[in-house]
Structure 1
Amino acid sequence: MRTVLVLASGLVLRRESLGESMQRRAFLASVGIAGGVIAAGCAPRSNPLYPNQSGELFEGSGPYPSGVGSGDPTADSVLLWTRAHPERDSGQGILLTTEIATSPQFGVGQIVAQLPALATANRDHCVTVEVTGLQPATTYWYRFSYDGTTSTTGRTRTAPVGGVDRLRLAAFSCQRYTHGFYTAHSDLAGLAEDPGTDLDLVLCLGDYVYETGYADAVYVPGREDPIQQARTQDQFRSKYRMYRSDPNLQAVHAAYPMVNVFDNHDGLAAPGDDQATGAIAAFFEHLPVRSRLPGRIDRSLRWGDLAEIFMTDQRSFRDPTLDEEGPLGTSTSERPEILDPNRTMLGAEQRNWLLNGLSDSNAQWKVIGSQLMFWPWRSFGKLPGQPRGSGIYLNLTQWDGYAAERLALLDHLEQNNVRNTLLFSGDSHVFSAAQIAPDVDNPRSVPRIAEFGTGSVTSNNADENNYPTDDATRPYLRSVNPNHLRFFESERHGYATAEITPSETSVEFRSPKTIRQPTSVTQILSRMRVAADTQRVELLAP
């Protein structure tokens, strides 16, 4: 079969006639770039005048300055969280009472548990309380009290057992505080007010906090960060205190149980990072997270017979990230290590846990939470005669830099006939949908994973740095990746929601019109569905 390359400019070229250097020149022409020099108007903006930063640690106000939250529910237990203000601590800690009830009124006969919790300075006055002995598939309300004060009431939900008609969840990532207001979280919290849109669970795929303050030539008045670079545990604690002071983020935590993993900006990009110890300690203090193994974030949660959710860690055990060759990507000819089967991003133990978990699970839908984009993000595809997985890849930090491990996962799903595998990814600041087969260059290869990548809540997008916009890049990427890429949007912020049923999964990409103001209306960027047993993404009218 003769392969052609259709550029955004409308130029059609035979793929076999293009060497890799010629392919790069074609890509430059297609998006308005020539001779390796970014065209006028596409250079990053100069930095605005950022406010002075004091370097002082942030502290919130009120007896519960970070609100309340819950996380990692099982069929009979849930983790509840809050933080007491340290000014109330005389040196012995602060003794809190945790209440959980079947009604927000906490009336007689409605309180099912009252548990003590001691907030101390060695955990930044955070408490995580595991409440056990709960009923499956049940909504509970909870609150904390001490010294005559009572917290905001939070709502949580236990997982079901057995047959389940529906799971509704949301996924978000990348919420740099200084880049804008959390209008996406305002919308997300508001979904709880309508039974028709209410959710069971929220997945945070990482970059909950950012180790750096101002970046990317962006300053939004009212979103100041006193610390430019967090390196110590106390500085990362300050970041969490600042982020969790936001009322919209507090509202999301109070409305839904959340399942969190960290990513690079949370303080660990790769093994050996200098600030990792303090950053990860602050993560476990300020978010309620269960561990499959001590200190680990990779774990699974069941939602009855309908779904099992596998949260993964693509930072802690990875082999070193390969050097990239330039802004247009890195080819597997230049970096054959991309296809080295001995390279890993998951590490051997986690990889075996994930592979075995996916093939052994008796849940109908398998849901992978991935910090990083999984689908092949290529500027050019495989040339004739090259091995499977070849191409020119745009980001070697993500799964593209560990393509052999990606192929091993897809091959495992195919060999074991594992169906109904979904993947939600973050980090890229891009809304995307893809159906990934073991051989994305072969249209007959059956997709094994349907992926939905969520855009950032606030963190800067490419167009906000004056890089080529979707009008240029989207047609080109679709032409280069015709078999797997189904949707691509890099200019909007927001999050994803999904409704999983026995017959299908339906997904929405939701985006506020602005993050530069404290309030915003929300638009639906795309609606999609995956019919059961297909792993194929169908685009619907928004």
Structure 2
Amino acid sequence: MTFCIWGPLSADVLAERAKQALFEYSPIRGDKIYRKYRYGKHLELFLLDERSYRGSNTENSNPNGIEMLGQEQFEWLKKSLKASQATWKVISSDDPFSIVTGSTSDRDAWGQGSPEVLGREVQLSQLLQFIKNEGIKNVVVITADVHYAAAISYEPERAVFKDFNPFWEFVVGPIHAGAFGQNELDPSFGPKYEYVRAPQTETSQLPQNLPPPNLHSFGLAEVNSQGQLLVRIHDITGKVLYEKLLNPQS
């Protein structure tokens, strides 16, 4: 067996190699990661790529905004949501909309903990406003990235930016990495934890980065024939930790 030892590589080079490996290993058609899938009458799933087009983490407090999706993907998402005839439009986001991650000068998700709409949140506010203005109903967000389970409701009455419709975001994971959290919520869009399970939420105040099977989770969602969306969060044994039944708006 021969081993190759590589010297330091830039993040851009590593990202290029990682993307190449993804396409070689996974059965993904085309040259873009973002895509959509329609499942019957009631569900359309929108898979986003929030790694390939984002602006620098160090600029995530820029009041003028920075990219998260890139303009081509952003326009594709708006056009696809508007055209969708499915009852439920489920957006799969690499990063949570309001859970704050990264260090103070290196916020690597949408939010950065400030009430003001800054950085990547500018694009998010435009997306939420577009969904409201175009009358697009029954939008739900699913995400991971952070290593704990949560259900988050978003309400304009609690928000700094209020020009959007209420919606839910469901967070799961991890299955095979260390469990940590809970993190603070950026208040810009009025998020509220309706459920959270993380090391410090346990009675015994567990340490961070616990390996499996501690606090590890996965999610399942199903739509019934009446168009109701049932979302469940399970622990690693399959036990239901939390469930939410959502009725569609007509």
TM range (shorter): 0.7 to 0.9
Structure 2 unaligned runs (5+)?
113-119, 200-214
Counterparts of 1:477 and 1:336, CA distance in 2: 15
Report deviation, 1:378: 5.9
- Structure 1 residues 458-484: Cα deviation after superposition (integer angstroms, max 9, x where no partner): 211227xxxxxx6xx7xx869999753
**Greater Cα radius of gyration, structure 1 or 2:** 1
> TM-score, structure 1 length as denominator?
0.37
Where structure 1 has 5 or more consecutive residues not aligned to the other structure, the ranges are 1-53, 58-226, 233-270, 324-334, 380-392, 464-469, 513-520, 535-542
Distance 2:17 2:186 in 1: 42
Which position in structure 1 is the counterpart of 2:168? Answer: 450
Matched, 1:417 2:153: no
Matched, 1:484 2:208: no
Paired with 1:486 and 1:406, the residues of 2 have a C-alpha distance of 21
8 A Cα contact 2:231 2:245, kept in partner: yes
The separation in 1 between residues aligned to 2:169 and 2:48, in whole angstroms, is 15
1:493–1:55 Cα change, 3 Å: farther
Counterpart contact for 1:407–1:438, Cα < 8 Å = no
Matched, 1:530 2:246: yes
- Is the CA contact (8 Å cut-off) linking 2:148 and 2:171 kept in structure 1? yes
Q: Judging changes above 3 Å, is the alpha-carbon distance between structure 1 residues 478 and 280 closer, same or farther for their aligned structure 2 residues?
A: closer
Alignment of 1:371-410 (within 5 A): 371-374=94-97, 376-377=98-99, 396-400=107-111, 402-410=120-128
Aligned twin of 2:18: 279
Cα distance in 1 between the residues matched to 2:174 and 2:124? 24
SS at match of 2:16: helix
Q: % of aligned pairs identical?
A: 23
Q: What is the DSSP-based 3-state SS (H/G/I as helix, E as strand, rest coil) of the residue aligned with 2:168?
A: strand
Counterpart of 1:364?
A: 87
**Separation of aligned partners in 1, 2:148 and 2:106:** 13
With the length of structure 2 as denominator, give the TM-score of the two structures: 0.75
- Aligned Cα root-mean-square deviation (Å): 3.6
Q: Residue 310 of structure 1 corresponds to which residue in structure 2? A: 46
CA contact (8 A) 1:307 1:365 kept: yes
1:441–1:479 CA distance, 2 compared to 1 (3 A): closer
Assess if the C-alpha contact under 8 Å between 1:435 and 1:486 holds in 2. yes
Shift in CA distance, 348/274, structure 1 to aligned 2, threshold 3 Å: same
SS in 2 for 1:522: coil
Aligned residues of 1:435 and 1:447 also touching (Cα < 8 A): no
The count of residues paired between Structure 1 and Structure 2 equals 225
The superposition leaves residues 494-525 of structure 1 with CA deviations (integer Å, 9 ceiling, x where unpaired) of 2100012343211111112xxxxxxxx43222
Counterparts of 1:510-521 in structure 2, within 5 Å, are: 510-512=234-236, 521=237
Deviation of the 1:424 alpha carbon:
0.9
- Which shifted more, 476-485 or 406-415? 476-485
Q: How big is the shift at 1:410?
A: 0.6
Task: Read off the aligned partner of 2:37 and give its amino acid letter.
Answer: L
Shift of 1:446: 6.0
How far has the Cα of 1:448 moved from its partner? 4.0
5 Å-filtered alignment, 1:1-12, equals: none
